[in-house]
Amino acid sequence: MNSTINTLVESARQGDWTPLLETAREVPGKNWPEKALCSGLDFEDDFFPESEHPWSDPDQLRESHADSLRLPLALCSACPLPVAARCLVDALRYEDRYGIRAGLLAPEREVLLSLWKTRVNADSVEAVIQGVTTLLNSAERTAVIARVIEDPEVNPRLVAQGLGIPIKYLWQLVREHKKRSADSSVPEAA
């Protein structure tokens, strides 16, 4: 991992995701892998070290696989920063739990992934409320549905548009959210 992506990752670990996300936005669209250093080369397997699992000990892995990790880690380190940031953000978005991304081994991304899954970005939630299609994690999606229920000013049609789902499916999510809330408020029998 180069020192600059390291700074973005550290900031995200501390709870400030803005630098990482802003940098990733510099390579918008679906064709960003064309700019990746690993793109089109015939060594994809090198990015998936043998015996690498989300629960592996990353230090041990780096030591025992030092030779085979050298090439992919060097490529990640030299990859353009916005591409590496986008690579990492997409790995988090799609919960990609295997392989090297932005110089991080799978087990090194686990803490970041659990922080990502519970983070609620107010701007992303607001964008969806305003009808702007935005990719959300499950915590942000829950926050949007809660707003539909609690805030009479929120326009459900815009929210459905922002979530990229039919309005009927939005009402289904609303019903499920209400049911979950009701179930969790019922005291357990002694």
Residue 76, interface with ligand SF4 (CB under 6 A)? yes
Count of residues touching ligand SF4 (by CB under 6 A): 13
Stretch that binds ligand SF4, among 16-24, 99-107, 150-158, 171-179 (CB under 6 A): 99-107
Residue 101, interface with ligand SF4 (CB under 6 A)? yes
CA-based nearest residue to 47, from 7, 83, 87, 12 = 87
Question: Closest distance between ligand SF4 and the C-beta of residue 81, in Å?
Answer: 9
Rounded distance, CA 162 to CA 147, Å? 13
Rounded distance, CA 98 to CA 106, Å? 5
Q: Which residue number, 65 or 177, has a Cβ lying nearer to ligand SF4?
A: 65
User: In which residue are the tokens 């659990």 written?
Assistant: 114
Q: Which residue number, 62 or 177, has a Cβ lying nearer to ligand SF4?
A: 62
What residues line the site for ligand SF4 (CB under 6 A)? 36-38, 47, 75-76, 79, 83-84, 87, 100-102
